Structure 1
Protein backbone atom coordinates (compact mmCIF):
# COMPACT_ATOMS: atom_id res chain seq x y z
CA UNK A 1 0.00 0.00 0.00
CA UNK A 2 1.00 3.64 -0.41
CA UNK A 3 1.65 5.65 2.74
CA UNK A 4 3.20 9.01 3.58
CA UNK A 5 5.69 8.75 6.45
CA UNK A 6 8.41 10.63 8.25
CA UNK A 7 11.84 9.11 8.86
CA UNK A 8 13.15 12.14 10.75
CA UNK A 9 11.71 15.05 12.69
CA UNK A 10 11.69 18.40 10.91
CA UNK A 11 9.74 20.52 8.45
CA UNK A 12 7.13 19.35 5.95
CA UNK A 13 9.82 18.37 3.44
CA UNK A 14 10.49 15.32 5.65
CA UNK A 15 7.18 13.81 4.50
CA UNK A 16 7.92 10.89 2.19
CA UNK A 17 5.73 8.67 0.00
CA UNK A 18 6.62 4.99 0.43
CA UNK A 19 5.31 1.45 -0.04
CA UNK A 20 4.44 -0.49 3.11
CA UNK A 21 2.69 -3.82 3.80
CA UNK A 22 -1.06 -3.67 4.46
CA UNK A 23 -1.43 -3.73 8.28
CA UNK A 24 -2.32 -6.96 10.04
CA UNK A 25 -5.25 -6.65 12.43
CA UNK A 26 -5.69 -8.03 15.93
CA UNK A 27 -8.77 -9.95 17.05
CA UNK A 28 -10.39 -6.71 18.26
CA UNK A 29 -9.63 -4.61 15.20
CA UNK A 30 -10.96 -4.01 11.71
CA UNK A 31 -9.07 -3.12 8.55
CA UNK A 32 -10.31 0.01 6.81
CA UNK A 33 -9.66 1.01 3.23
CA UNK A 34 -9.14 4.74 3.61
CA UNK A 35 -11.42 7.08 1.67
CA UNK A 36 -10.33 10.28 3.44
CA UNK A 37 -8.33 11.63 6.37
CA UNK A 38 -7.86 15.14 7.73
CA UNK A 39 -5.15 17.35 9.16
CA UNK A 40 -4.91 18.36 12.82
CA UNK A 41 -2.25 20.40 14.65
CA UNK A 42 -0.98 17.22 16.36
CA UNK A 43 0.16 16.05 12.89
CA UNK A 44 2.67 18.80 12.22
CA UNK A 45 3.59 19.30 15.89
CA UNK A 46 4.60 15.65 16.07
CA UNK A 47 6.37 15.92 12.69
CA UNK A 48 8.45 18.82 14.02
CA UNK A 49 9.43 16.79 17.11
CA UNK A 50 7.53 18.79 19.73
CA UNK A 51 5.83 15.63 21.05
CA UNK A 52 8.70 13.14 20.87
CA UNK A 53 9.01 12.92 24.66
CA UNK A 54 5.31 12.04 24.89
CA UNK A 55 5.44 9.56 22.01
CA UNK A 56 8.79 7.76 21.99
CA UNK A 57 8.35 6.08 18.62
CA UNK A 58 10.85 4.62 16.18
CA UNK A 59 10.81 5.65 12.52
CA UNK A 60 9.14 5.38 10.10
CA UNK A 61 6.06 7.08 11.53
CA UNK A 62 2.77 7.37 9.67
CA UNK A 63 1.05 10.55 10.86
CA UNK A 64 -2.70 11.22 10.84
CA UNK A 65 -5.45 10.38 13.34
CA UNK A 66 -8.72 10.82 11.46
CA UNK A 67 -10.20 8.30 9.06
CA UNK A 68 -13.28 7.55 7.04
CA UNK A 69 -13.56 4.54 4.83
CA UNK A 70 -14.93 1.05 4.26
CA UNK A 71 -14.23 -2.04 6.35
CA UNK A 72 -12.44 -4.73 4.33
CA UNK A 73 -11.62 -7.22 7.10
CA UNK A 74 -12.75 -7.88 10.69
CA UNK A 75 -10.96 -9.48 13.65
CA UNK A 76 -12.05 -12.74 15.25
CA UNK A 77 -13.69 -11.02 18.25
CA UNK A 78 -15.51 -8.31 16.27
CA UNK A 79 -19.26 -8.91 16.12
CA UNK A 80 -20.84 -5.46 15.68
CA UNK A 81 -19.14 -4.57 12.39
CA UNK A 82 -19.13 -6.14 8.95
CA UNK A 83 -17.10 -6.05 5.76
CA UNK A 84 -18.50 -3.27 3.59
CA UNK A 85 -19.62 -1.00 6.46
CA UNK A 86 -18.92 2.69 5.86
CA UNK A 87 -17.32 4.01 9.04
CA UNK A 88 -15.25 6.79 10.55
CA UNK A 89 -13.01 6.94 13.59
CA UNK A 90 -10.33 8.66 15.61
CA UNK A 91 -7.89 5.71 15.84
CA UNK A 92 -5.67 5.13 18.85
CA UNK A 93 -2.57 7.31 18.92
CA UNK A 94 0.07 5.01 17.49
CA UNK A 95 2.85 5.33 14.90
CA UNK A 96 0.55 3.60 12.38
CA UNK A 97 -1.57 6.62 11.46
CA UNK A 98 -3.99 7.39 8.66
CA UNK A 99 -1.82 8.83 5.88
CA UNK A 100 -2.13 5.38 4.33
CA UNK A 101 -4.39 3.45 1.99
CA UNK A 102 -5.27 0.90 4.68
CA UNK A 103 -5.45 1.36 8.46
CA UNK A 104 -6.06 -1.06 11.35
CA UNK A 105 -8.52 0.45 13.85
CA UNK A 106 -9.81 -0.80 17.20
CA UNK A 107 -13.46 -1.76 16.75
CA UNK A 108 -14.60 0.15 19.85
CA UNK A 109 -13.44 3.42 18.28
CA UNK A 110 -15.65 3.15 15.20
CA UNK A 111 -18.90 4.92 14.35
CA UNK A 112 -21.20 4.44 11.38
CA UNK A 113 -20.85 7.13 8.74
CA UNK A 114 -24.24 8.81 8.33
CA UNK A 115 -25.67 8.27 4.84
CA UNK A 116 -26.27 12.00 4.39
CA UNK A 117 -22.58 13.00 4.64
CA UNK A 118 -19.64 12.28 2.35
CA UNK A 119 -16.48 10.43 3.29
CA UNK A 120 -14.68 13.78 3.18
CA UNK A 121 -17.15 15.35 5.60
CA UNK A 122 -16.88 12.31 7.87
CA UNK A 123 -13.08 12.36 7.91
CA UNK A 124 -13.10 15.95 9.15
CA UNK A 125 -14.99 15.02 12.31
CA UNK A 126 -13.31 12.53 14.65
CA UNK A 127 -10.41 14.26 16.41
CA UNK A 128 -11.85 17.78 16.35
CA UNK A 129 -15.45 16.72 16.91
CA UNK A 130 -14.71 14.35 19.78
CA UNK A 131 -12.46 16.99 21.36
CA UNK A 132 -15.30 19.52 21.21
CA UNK A 133 -17.79 16.99 22.57
CA UNK A 134 -15.62 15.97 25.51
CA UNK A 135 -14.65 19.57 26.34
CA UNK A 136 -18.28 20.70 26.38
CA UNK A 137 -20.08 17.68 27.80
CA UNK A 138 -17.74 15.14 29.43
CA UNK A 139 -15.62 17.72 31.25
CA UNK A 140 -17.47 21.04 30.85
CA UNK A 141 -20.85 19.63 31.94
CA UNK A 142 -22.63 22.18 29.76
CA UNK A 143 -26.39 22.26 30.28
CA UNK A 144 -29.37 23.75 28.51
CA UNK A 145 -29.71 27.46 29.23
CA UNK A 146 -26.08 27.96 30.28
CA UNK A 147 -23.69 30.35 28.55
CA UNK A 148 -20.47 29.27 26.88
CA UNK A 149 -17.59 31.13 25.24
CA UNK A 150 -15.84 29.12 22.52
CA UNK A 151 -12.48 30.59 21.57
CA UNK A 152 -11.54 30.52 17.87
CA UNK A 153 -14.96 29.47 16.64
CA UNK A 154 -13.93 29.21 13.00
CA UNK A 155 -11.22 26.64 13.71
CA UNK A 156 -11.49 22.88 13.51
CA UNK A 157 -12.59 22.30 17.11
CA UNK A 158 -14.49 25.58 17.30
CA UNK A 159 -16.83 24.88 14.39
CA UNK A 160 -17.99 21.62 15.96
CA UNK A 161 -18.13 23.10 19.47
CA UNK A 162 -20.51 25.89 18.40
CA UNK A 163 -22.92 23.41 16.83
CA UNK A 164 -22.78 20.86 19.66
CA UNK A 165 -23.33 23.61 22.26
CA UNK A 166 -26.34 24.92 20.33
CA UNK A 167 -27.78 21.40 20.10
CA UNK A 168 -27.73 21.36 23.92
CA UNK A 169 -29.66 24.63 24.10
CA UNK A 170 -26.78 26.77 25.36
CA UNK A 171 -26.21 30.47 24.67
CA UNK A 172 -23.06 30.54 22.53
CA UNK A 173 -20.51 33.31 22.17
CA UNK A 174 -17.41 32.85 20.06
CA UNK A 175 -14.29 34.74 19.06
CA UNK A 176 -13.05 34.96 15.49
CA UNK A 177 -11.93 37.53 12.93
CA UNK A 178 -14.49 39.62 11.05
CA UNK A 179 -14.03 37.63 7.83
CA UNK A 180 -15.50 34.56 9.56
CA UNK A 181 -18.50 36.28 11.20
CA UNK A 182 -21.01 34.91 8.68
CA UNK A 183 -19.64 31.38 9.06
CA UNK A 184 -19.91 31.22 12.86
CA UNK A 185 -23.32 32.93 12.77
CA UNK A 186 -24.52 30.26 10.34
CA UNK A 187 -23.22 27.57 12.71
CA UNK A 188 -25.35 29.00 15.52
CA UNK A 189 -23.27 31.57 17.42
CA UNK A 190 -25.52 33.97 19.33
CA UNK A 191 -22.77 36.54 19.93
CA UNK A 192 -19.51 37.10 18.07
CA UNK A 193 -16.42 38.93 19.28
CA UNK A 194 -13.75 40.17 16.87
CA UNK A 195 -10.61 39.13 18.72
CA UNK A 196 -8.53 41.61 16.71
CA UNK A 197 -10.53 44.62 17.84
CA UNK A 198 -12.46 43.71 21.00
CA UNK A 199 -11.65 42.39 24.47
CA UNK A 200 -13.87 39.66 25.83
CA UNK A 201 -13.88 41.34 29.27
CA UNK A 202 -15.55 44.40 27.70
CA UNK A 203 -18.31 42.31 26.19
CA UNK A 204 -18.97 39.40 28.55
CA UNK A 205 -19.60 38.67 32.21
CA UNK A 206 -20.89 35.82 34.36
CA UNK A 207 -20.19 33.14 31.72
CA UNK A 208 -20.72 29.53 32.83
CA UNK A 209 -18.12 27.81 30.63
CA UNK A 210 -15.12 28.77 28.50
CA UNK A 211 -13.62 26.40 25.95
CA UNK A 212 -9.99 27.45 25.54
CA UNK A 213 -8.32 26.55 22.25
CA UNK A 214 -5.58 29.20 22.40
CA UNK A 215 -3.91 29.17 25.83
CA UNK A 216 -1.46 31.66 27.33
CA UNK A 217 -2.70 35.18 27.98
CA UNK A 218 -6.05 34.41 26.35
CA UNK A 219 -6.65 31.61 28.87
CA UNK A 220 -5.67 33.83 31.79
CA UNK A 221 -7.90 36.73 30.71
CA UNK A 222 -10.87 34.41 30.28
CA UNK A 223 -11.13 33.83 34.04
CA UNK A 224 -12.28 37.45 34.41
CA UNK A 225 -15.55 36.75 32.60
CA UNK A 226 -16.52 33.54 34.42
CA UNK A 227 -19.23 33.16 37.04
CA UNK A 228 -17.27 33.39 40.31
CA UNK A 229 -19.34 30.69 42.01
CA UNK A 230 -19.69 27.99 39.36
CA UNK A 231 -17.67 29.04 36.31
CA UNK A 232 -15.32 26.60 34.67
CA UNK A 233 -12.75 26.72 31.90
CA UNK A 234 -11.71 23.68 29.86
CA UNK A 235 -8.51 23.96 27.84
CA UNK A 236 -7.38 21.71 25.01
CA UNK A 237 -3.94 23.36 24.81
CA UNK A 238 -2.58 23.00 28.35
CA UNK A 239 -2.39 25.14 31.48
CA UNK A 240 -0.98 28.66 31.39
CA UNK A 241 1.80 29.45 33.87
CA UNK A 242 -0.36 31.91 35.88
CA UNK A 243 -3.61 29.95 35.91
CA UNK A 244 -3.19 28.33 39.33
CA UNK A 245 -2.49 31.70 40.98
CA UNK A 246 -5.46 33.35 39.27
CA UNK A 247 -8.03 30.83 40.52
CA UNK A 248 -6.54 29.72 43.86
CA UNK A 249 -8.94 31.78 46.02
CA UNK A 250 -12.06 31.25 43.92
CA UNK A 251 -14.62 28.57 43.19
CA UNK A 252 -13.76 28.64 39.50
CA UNK A 253 -12.76 25.26 38.09
CA UNK A 254 -10.09 24.69 35.48
CA UNK A 255 -9.13 21.54 33.62
CA UNK A 256 -6.76 20.92 30.72
CA UNK A 257 -7.75 17.84 28.78
CA UNK A 258 -6.30 15.37 26.29
CA UNK A 259 -8.74 13.65 23.96
CA UNK A 260 -9.71 10.09 24.84
CA UNK A 261 -10.83 8.50 21.54
CA UNK A 262 -14.37 7.15 21.88
CA UNK A 263 -16.57 5.40 19.38
CA UNK A 264 -19.57 6.11 21.62
CA UNK A 265 -18.94 9.86 21.59
CA UNK A 266 -18.40 9.81 17.83
CA UNK A 267 -21.65 7.90 17.31
CA UNK A 268 -23.49 10.64 19.25
CA UNK A 269 -21.98 13.25 16.95
CA UNK A 270 -22.98 11.09 13.98
CA UNK A 271 -26.58 11.16 15.22
CA UNK A 272 -26.48 14.96 15.35
CA UNK A 273 -25.11 15.01 11.79
CA UNK A 274 -27.80 12.63 10.60
CA UNK A 275 -30.41 15.02 12.08
CA UNK A 276 -28.79 18.04 10.42
CA UNK A 277 -27.75 19.64 13.72
CA UNK A 278 -24.00 19.36 13.09
CA UNK A 279 -22.07 19.63 9.84
CA UNK A 280 -18.42 19.65 8.87
CA UNK A 281 -16.85 22.91 7.76
CA UNK A 282 -14.13 22.10 5.24
CA UNK A 283 -11.61 24.71 4.20
CA UNK A 284 -9.81 22.67 1.55
CA UNK A 285 -9.88 19.17 0.05
CA UNK A 286 -6.52 17.91 -1.26
CA UNK A 287 -5.78 14.67 -3.14
CA UNK A 288 -3.63 12.12 -1.30
CA UNK A 289 -0.01 12.46 -2.37
CA UNK A 290 3.29 13.49 -0.87
CA UNK A 291 2.99 16.99 -2.37
CA UNK A 292 -0.62 17.23 -1.24
CA UNK A 293 0.29 16.51 2.35
CA UNK A 294 3.17 18.99 2.24
CA UNK A 295 0.68 21.64 1.10
CA UNK A 296 -1.83 20.58 3.78
CA UNK A 297 0.74 20.78 6.58
CA UNK A 298 1.82 24.26 5.50
CA UNK A 299 -1.78 25.45 5.40
CA UNK A 300 -2.65 23.94 8.79
CA UNK A 301 0.38 25.53 10.47
CA UNK A 302 -0.81 29.03 9.49
CA UNK A 303 -3.79 28.57 11.88
CA UNK A 304 -5.88 30.62 9.45
CA UNK A 305 -7.97 27.93 7.76
CA UNK A 306 -11.70 27.93 8.41
CA UNK A 307 -12.74 24.48 9.57
CA UNK A 308 -10.79 21.41 8.45
CA UNK A 309 -8.27 20.47 5.77
CA UNK A 310 -9.22 17.09 4.29
CA UNK A 311 -7.11 14.61 2.32
CA UNK A 312 -9.09 12.60 -0.25
CA UNK A 313 -7.93 9.14 -1.40
Structure 2
Protein backbone atom coordinates (compact mmCIF):
# COMPACT_ATOMS: atom_id res chain seq x y z
CA UNK A 1 0.00 0.00 0.00
CA UNK A 2 1.34 3.40 -0.98
CA UNK A 3 1.43 5.42 2.27
CA UNK A 4 1.41 8.79 0.47
CA UNK A 5 -1.73 7.77 -1.39
CA UNK A 6 -3.34 6.46 1.82
CA UNK A 7 -2.60 9.74 3.61
CA UNK A 8 -4.12 11.69 0.71
CA UNK A 9 -7.30 9.63 0.51
CA UNK A 10 -7.77 9.62 4.28
CA UNK A 11 -7.12 13.27 5.13
CA UNK A 12 -7.06 15.58 2.09
CA UNK A 13 -9.97 17.65 0.83
CA UNK A 14 -11.60 16.63 -2.43
CA UNK A 15 -13.69 13.88 -3.98
CA UNK A 16 -13.38 10.65 -5.96
CA UNK A 17 -14.22 10.73 -9.69
CA UNK A 18 -15.97 7.56 -10.88
CA UNK A 19 -14.82 6.89 -14.46
CA UNK A 20 -15.66 3.19 -14.37
CA UNK A 21 -18.68 2.64 -16.61
CA UNK A 22 -18.42 -0.98 -17.73
CA UNK A 23 -19.58 -2.94 -20.77
CA UNK A 24 -23.27 -2.78 -19.88
CA UNK A 25 -23.36 0.93 -19.01
CA UNK A 26 -20.84 2.18 -21.59
CA UNK A 27 -23.41 2.82 -24.39
CA UNK A 28 -25.44 4.94 -21.95
CA UNK A 29 -22.33 6.87 -20.89
CA UNK A 30 -21.38 7.48 -24.53
CA UNK A 31 -24.92 8.58 -25.39
CA UNK A 32 -24.85 11.06 -22.50
CA UNK A 33 -21.59 12.33 -24.05
CA UNK A 34 -23.28 12.73 -27.45
CA UNK A 35 -21.98 9.58 -29.17
CA UNK A 36 -24.83 7.46 -30.55
CA UNK A 37 -24.55 3.70 -31.14
CA UNK A 38 -24.28 4.20 -34.91
CA UNK A 39 -20.78 5.67 -34.30
CA UNK A 40 -19.34 2.22 -33.48
CA UNK A 41 -19.88 -1.31 -34.79
CA UNK A 42 -18.32 -3.55 -32.12
CA UNK A 43 -17.21 -3.61 -28.49
CA UNK A 44 -13.60 -2.73 -29.32
CA UNK A 45 -14.64 0.45 -31.17
CA UNK A 46 -16.99 1.30 -28.30
CA UNK A 47 -14.20 0.96 -25.72
CA UNK A 48 -11.84 3.02 -27.90
CA UNK A 49 -14.41 5.84 -27.92
CA UNK A 50 -15.04 5.65 -24.18
CA UNK A 51 -11.28 5.65 -23.48
CA UNK A 52 -11.00 8.79 -25.60
CA UNK A 53 -13.79 10.36 -23.51
CA UNK A 54 -12.10 9.38 -20.23
CA UNK A 55 -8.72 10.56 -21.53
CA UNK A 56 -10.24 13.94 -22.40
CA UNK A 57 -11.61 14.24 -18.86
CA UNK A 58 -8.37 13.11 -17.18
CA UNK A 59 -6.15 15.34 -19.33
CA UNK A 60 -8.33 18.41 -18.81
CA UNK A 61 -6.42 21.06 -16.85
CA UNK A 62 -9.39 21.27 -14.46
CA UNK A 63 -9.14 17.56 -13.57
CA UNK A 64 -6.43 17.94 -10.94
CA UNK A 65 -5.47 17.23 -7.35
CA UNK A 66 -6.82 20.55 -6.05
CA UNK A 67 -10.32 19.09 -6.25
CA UNK A 68 -9.96 15.38 -6.99
CA UNK A 69 -8.45 12.82 -4.61
CA UNK A 70 -8.91 9.67 -6.65
CA UNK A 71 -10.40 8.19 -9.81
CA UNK A 72 -12.09 4.81 -10.27
CA UNK A 73 -11.15 3.07 -13.51
CA UNK A 74 -12.68 0.27 -15.56
CA UNK A 75 -10.39 -2.75 -16.16
CA UNK A 76 -10.01 -1.87 -19.84
CA UNK A 77 -8.91 1.67 -18.87
CA UNK A 78 -6.28 0.31 -16.46
CA UNK A 79 -4.71 -1.65 -19.34
CA UNK A 80 -4.62 1.33 -21.71
CA UNK A 81 -2.28 4.32 -21.77
CA UNK A 82 -2.46 8.12 -21.73
CA UNK A 83 0.51 9.86 -23.37
CA UNK A 84 2.52 6.63 -23.22
CA UNK A 85 1.89 5.91 -19.51
CA UNK A 86 -0.53 3.36 -18.12
CA UNK A 87 -3.60 5.22 -16.89
CA UNK A 88 -2.94 4.64 -13.18
CA UNK A 89 0.64 5.91 -13.49
CA UNK A 90 -0.49 8.95 -15.48
CA UNK A 91 -3.10 9.79 -12.84
CA UNK A 92 -0.66 9.60 -9.93
CA UNK A 93 2.57 10.87 -11.51
CA UNK A 94 1.12 13.64 -13.71
CA UNK A 95 -1.97 14.61 -11.73
CA UNK A 96 -1.44 13.54 -8.12
CA UNK A 97 -4.73 11.57 -8.26
CA UNK A 98 -5.00 8.14 -6.62
CA UNK A 99 -6.09 5.29 -8.96
CA UNK A 100 -8.78 2.72 -8.08
CA UNK A 101 -10.11 -0.20 -10.15
CA UNK A 102 -13.68 -1.44 -10.54
CA UNK A 103 -13.51 -5.23 -10.14
CA UNK A 104 -17.09 -6.52 -10.10
CA UNK A 105 -18.69 -8.24 -13.08
CA UNK A 106 -22.11 -6.68 -12.62
CA UNK A 107 -25.20 -7.66 -10.65
CA UNK A 108 -26.91 -11.04 -10.26
CA UNK A 109 -30.67 -11.38 -10.70
CA UNK A 110 -32.85 -9.85 -7.93
CA UNK A 111 -33.50 -12.08 -4.92
CA UNK A 112 -34.62 -11.26 -1.35
CA UNK A 113 -35.00 -7.59 -2.31
CA UNK A 114 -31.33 -7.23 -3.34
CA UNK A 115 -28.94 -7.89 -6.18
CA UNK A 116 -25.71 -9.52 -5.12
CA UNK A 117 -22.60 -9.31 -7.28
CA UNK A 118 -22.12 -11.95 -9.92
CA UNK A 119 -19.17 -14.29 -9.22
CA UNK A 120 -15.79 -12.75 -10.13
CA UNK A 121 -13.82 -15.50 -11.87
CA UNK A 122 -10.08 -14.90 -12.02
CA UNK A 123 -10.20 -12.29 -9.25
CA UNK A 124 -6.78 -13.24 -7.87
CA UNK A 125 -5.20 -12.73 -11.29
CA UNK A 126 -6.96 -9.38 -11.69
CA UNK A 127 -5.75 -8.24 -8.25
CA UNK A 128 -2.17 -9.27 -9.11
CA UNK A 129 -2.38 -7.20 -12.32
CA UNK A 130 -3.82 -4.28 -10.37
CA UNK A 131 -0.84 -4.35 -8.01
CA UNK A 132 1.55 -4.50 -11.00
CA UNK A 133 -0.24 -1.51 -12.58
CA UNK A 134 0.14 0.54 -9.34
CA UNK A 135 -3.56 0.57 -8.45
CA UNK A 136 -4.25 1.71 -4.86
CA UNK A 137 -7.70 0.23 -4.28
CA UNK A 138 -10.72 -1.46 -5.81
CA UNK A 139 -14.48 -0.90 -6.05
CA UNK A 140 -17.37 -3.38 -6.18
CA UNK A 141 -21.10 -2.67 -6.27
CA UNK A 142 -24.19 -4.48 -5.01
CA UNK A 143 -27.76 -3.10 -5.02
CA UNK A 144 -30.38 -3.02 -2.26
CA UNK A 145 -33.95 -2.47 -3.48
CA UNK A 146 -35.97 -3.42 -0.39
CA UNK A 147 -35.52 -3.38 3.40
CA UNK A 148 -35.11 -7.15 3.55
CA UNK A 149 -32.82 -8.02 6.51
CA UNK A 150 -31.78 -11.40 5.05
CA UNK A 151 -30.99 -9.92 1.64
CA UNK A 152 -29.03 -6.99 3.09
CA UNK A 153 -27.06 -9.38 5.31
CA UNK A 154 -26.14 -11.41 2.20
CA UNK A 155 -25.01 -8.26 0.38
CA UNK A 156 -22.71 -7.15 3.21
CA UNK A 157 -21.40 -10.67 3.83
CA UNK A 158 -20.44 -11.06 0.16
CA UNK A 159 -18.84 -7.61 0.06
CA UNK A 160 -16.69 -8.30 3.12
CA UNK A 161 -15.62 -11.76 1.89
CA UNK A 162 -14.25 -10.11 -1.27
CA UNK A 163 -12.85 -7.18 0.74
CA UNK A 164 -10.70 -9.51 2.86
CA UNK A 165 -9.37 -11.19 -0.30
CA UNK A 166 -8.56 -7.78 -1.83
CA UNK A 167 -6.89 -6.48 1.34
CA UNK A 168 -4.63 -9.53 1.22
CA UNK A 169 -2.98 -7.98 -1.85
CA UNK A 170 -2.31 -4.69 -0.05
CA UNK A 171 -5.16 -2.97 -1.89
CA UNK A 172 -7.88 -0.87 -0.23
CA UNK A 173 -11.36 -2.13 -1.19
CA UNK A 174 -14.25 0.28 -1.70
CA UNK A 175 -17.35 -1.59 -0.50
CA UNK A 176 -20.42 -0.29 -2.37
CA UNK A 177 -23.80 -1.63 -1.20
CA UNK A 178 -25.95 0.94 -3.03
CA UNK A 179 -29.47 1.53 -1.73
CA UNK A 180 -31.81 2.32 -4.63
CA UNK A 181 -32.84 5.98 -4.28
CA UNK A 182 -36.31 5.06 -5.61
CA UNK A 183 -36.89 2.39 -2.95
CA UNK A 184 -40.11 2.97 -0.98
CA UNK A 185 -38.38 1.91 2.28
CA UNK A 186 -34.96 3.47 1.64
CA UNK A 187 -34.53 4.83 5.19
CA UNK A 188 -35.30 1.41 6.71
CA UNK A 189 -32.83 -0.26 4.30
CA UNK A 190 -30.18 2.23 5.43
CA UNK A 191 -30.77 1.40 9.10
CA UNK A 192 -30.38 -2.33 8.47
CA UNK A 193 -27.34 -1.70 6.25
CA UNK A 194 -25.56 0.49 8.80
CA UNK A 195 -25.98 -2.15 11.53
CA UNK A 196 -24.66 -4.87 9.19
CA UNK A 197 -21.67 -2.72 8.16
CA UNK A 198 -20.74 -1.92 11.77
CA UNK A 199 -21.02 -5.62 12.71
CA UNK A 200 -18.82 -6.74 9.81
CA UNK A 201 -16.27 -3.95 10.31
CA UNK A 202 -15.76 -5.19 13.87
CA UNK A 203 -14.61 -8.58 12.49
CA UNK A 204 -11.72 -7.14 10.43
CA UNK A 205 -8.10 -7.49 11.48
CA UNK A 206 -6.75 -4.35 13.09
CA UNK A 207 -4.56 -3.41 10.10
CA UNK A 208 -7.23 -3.97 7.42
CA UNK A 209 -8.40 -0.72 5.79
CA UNK A 210 -11.58 -0.34 3.71
CA UNK A 211 -13.64 2.45 2.18
CA UNK A 212 -17.42 2.60 1.93
CA UNK A 213 -19.39 3.97 -1.02
CA UNK A 214 -23.00 4.56 0.01
CA UNK A 215 -26.16 6.20 -1.29
CA UNK A 216 -26.85 9.69 0.04
CA UNK A 217 -28.86 8.91 3.20
CA UNK A 218 -32.47 9.83 3.92
CA UNK A 219 -31.38 11.21 7.30
CA UNK A 220 -28.57 13.79 7.33
CA UNK A 221 -25.31 12.65 8.96
CA UNK A 222 -26.71 9.12 9.30
CA UNK A 223 -23.32 7.59 8.46
CA UNK A 224 -21.25 9.57 10.98
CA UNK A 225 -20.51 6.39 13.03
CA UNK A 226 -19.14 4.71 9.91
CA UNK A 227 -17.01 7.77 9.09
CA UNK A 228 -15.43 7.52 12.59
CA UNK A 229 -14.92 3.71 12.49
CA UNK A 230 -11.16 2.91 12.78
CA UNK A 231 -11.03 0.49 9.79
CA UNK A 232 -12.72 3.01 7.47
CA UNK A 233 -10.35 5.20 5.44
CA UNK A 234 -13.18 7.29 3.96
CA UNK A 235 -16.91 7.15 3.33
CA UNK A 236 -17.90 8.38 -0.13
CA UNK A 237 -21.33 8.96 -1.65
CA UNK A 238 -22.65 7.90 -5.03
CA UNK A 239 -25.01 10.15 -6.96
CA UNK A 240 -27.35 7.23 -7.64
CA UNK A 241 -29.41 8.90 -10.36
CA UNK A 242 -29.82 12.30 -8.69
CA UNK A 243 -28.91 15.29 -10.85
CA UNK A 244 -25.65 17.00 -9.97
CA UNK A 245 -27.51 19.86 -8.23
CA UNK A 246 -29.66 17.46 -6.16
CA UNK A 247 -26.69 15.26 -5.25
CA UNK A 248 -24.54 18.25 -4.23
CA UNK A 249 -27.32 19.74 -2.14
CA UNK A 250 -27.82 16.47 -0.23
CA UNK A 251 -24.07 15.84 0.09
CA UNK A 252 -23.39 19.28 1.56
CA UNK A 253 -25.72 18.46 4.48
CA UNK A 254 -23.69 15.33 5.39
CA UNK A 255 -20.54 16.37 7.21
CA UNK A 256 -17.44 14.28 6.50
CA UNK A 257 -19.07 12.50 3.56
CA UNK A 258 -17.41 13.14 0.18
CA UNK A 259 -18.58 12.54 -3.39
CA UNK A 260 -17.76 9.67 -5.68
CA UNK A 261 -19.92 10.73 -8.60
CA UNK A 262 -20.06 9.31 -12.12
CA UNK A 263 -23.08 10.60 -14.07
CA UNK A 264 -23.30 13.72 -11.90
CA UNK A 265 -19.65 14.53 -12.68
CA UNK A 266 -19.89 14.10 -16.45
CA UNK A 267 -23.36 15.69 -16.72
CA UNK A 268 -23.51 18.07 -19.69
CA UNK A 269 -20.12 17.10 -21.17
CA UNK A 270 -20.29 16.47 -24.91
CA UNK A 271 -18.14 15.14 -27.72
CA UNK A 272 -19.19 18.16 -29.77
CA UNK A 273 -17.91 20.78 -27.32
CA UNK A 274 -14.71 22.66 -28.05
CA UNK A 275 -11.92 22.07 -25.52
CA UNK A 276 -12.62 25.49 -24.00
CA UNK A 277 -16.34 24.68 -23.59
CA UNK A 278 -15.61 21.20 -22.27
CA UNK A 279 -13.00 22.40 -19.77
CA UNK A 280 -15.19 25.28 -18.57
CA UNK A 281 -18.12 22.98 -17.82
CA UNK A 282 -15.90 20.35 -16.17
CA UNK A 283 -14.30 23.11 -14.05
CA UNK A 284 -17.75 24.26 -12.92
CA UNK A 285 -18.79 20.69 -12.06
CA UNK A 286 -15.62 19.81 -10.17
CA UNK A 287 -15.77 23.05 -8.17
CA UNK A 288 -19.42 22.47 -7.20
CA UNK A 289 -18.86 18.81 -6.23
CA UNK A 290 -15.69 19.77 -4.33
CA UNK A 291 -17.51 22.43 -2.33
CA UNK A 292 -20.27 19.96 -1.41
CA UNK A 293 -17.59 17.44 -0.36
CA UNK A 294 -15.72 19.64 2.12
CA UNK A 295 -18.63 20.45 4.42
TM-score of the superposition, structure 1-length normalised? Answer: 0.29
Normalising by structure 2, we get a TM-score of 0.30
Larger radius of gyration: 1
More strand by share: 1
